[in-house]
Structure 1
Amino acid sequence: MSLALRRWQRAPGSLTARLKALGERFEVRTLRQRVAPLLPEERCVLGAGRHLVREVVLCVDGVPLVWARSVAPARTLRGPWRALAGLGTRPLGQLLFDDARVARSALVPHHWHRGHPGHGRVRRDWLTVTGADWPAAVVAGRSSVFKRRGAKLRVFEAFAPELIEFASRTKNQAAGPEFRA
């Protein structure tokens, strides 16, 4: 994995804001939002029960760059995470980073190899959105847990290798030199 990709895995703040700085048009393509089974690492963080799972692809200037999955206990949709249910194609980052009552855990880097349940999901979704297979053998990403009034929301973001090339050739350098390839 490249140093540039590791920088994206460790970058603090809003991924939405960082991606918006790379181009003219930022887009959220919602793949699904429903009650769904959890991945093993999600169960460890969020526990058992019913959970709302939202999976999206984040695009800049029409180019898919990030696959993201957010998971929240269904019971919190009537409370602290009620806005999550109605997000549609709006970015989750605005909900999380525009609210001073939301705290974020440390970022955890992930490397999903073939055989990991999330790897297959990312590959299937990427094929649906782009018409091509995920462009790497490993899905490199990161996760963090957000808390609002004690309620947890876990977010996982997988970075397509194209992100590094896209970021390095962008005309808009607002993302900062530390995040260029």
Structure 2
Amino acid sequence: MGRASRDSLRDWLRAPGSLSKRLAALGTRYEVQVLRQEVTPFRQRERDALGLPRRGCTVVREVILWVDGQPLVWARSSVHQTSLAGPWKALKGLGTRPLGHLLYDDPRVTRSELEPRRLARYGHTRRQMQRQWLAATGELPSPQMLWSRNSVFRRRGAELRVMELFLPALKAYRTRPR
């Protein structure tokens, strides 16, 4: 799968454009496995990133991105539930299609600067990812799976936050399509 290179995980964390397209270029079969999509209370970091009030709910979509049978990325997107009736309503019917189709095929969507972040080793997001990863793959994720990139997408005034958490082994693959 893919060609080894000297690219680092930092290159993946800072790579612009669609992560889905970049991952799909690594192999012959790219898949999105939806782990959950539901309404849930806001997390502090999501509320801050989206500039939302203390109260309210968000719609969360958590997925694993696979290439040729190898899980490489765990991702979480969140949007205020009222945005599902407006600018982000297509999220409801997305299913196993990549979120990137909504984000990069619409010229009205803008993206904030990418923000690499190291997860707390024992934080809530890490524990949630570990449970889901184990259930989906049958294996615990690498203890070194701590680096994520975060960004906010805007469409007609509504914001959608995306966090992508990378398997460390991904650094062995090129960040540019073949």
Structure 1 position 130, deviation (Å): 1.4
Structure 1 position 3, deviation (Å): 6.2
Residue equivalent to 1:107: 114
Code of the residue aligned with 1:16 in structure 2: it is S
- Checking the alignment, whether the CA contact within 8 Å between 1:114 and 1:138 is kept in structure 2 is no
TM-score by length of 1: 0.88
Matched, 1:51 2:42: no
What's the % identity of the aligned pairs?
A: 51
> Which structure shows the higher helix fraction?
1
Residue equivalent to 2:3: none
Aligned residues: 170
**Runs of 4+, deviation exceeding 6 Å:** none
Query: Separation in 2 of the partners of 1:108 and 1:174?
Result: 20
Residue equivalent to 1:88: 95
SS in 1 for 2:152: strand
Residue equivalent to 2:41: 37
Across the aligned residues of Structure 1 and Structure 2, the Cα RMSD in angstroms comes to 1.7
Residue equivalent to 2:12: 8
TM-score by length of 2: 0.90
- Checking the alignment, whether the CA contact within 8 Å between 2:62 and 2:76 is kept in structure 1 is yes
Residue equivalent to 1:179: none
Structure 1 position 66, deviation (Å): 0.3
SS in 2 for 1:36: strand
- Checking the alignment, whether the CA contact within 8 Å between 1:103 and 1:147 is kept in structure 2 is yes
Code of the residue aligned with 1:64 in structure 2: it is P
Matched, 1:121 2:128: yes
Structure 1 position 136, deviation (Å): 2.3
SS in 2 for 1:101: coil
Residue equivalent to 2:76: 69
Specify every segment of 5 or more residues in structure 2 that has no aligned partner in the other structure, as ranges.
1-5
Residue equivalent to 1:144: 151
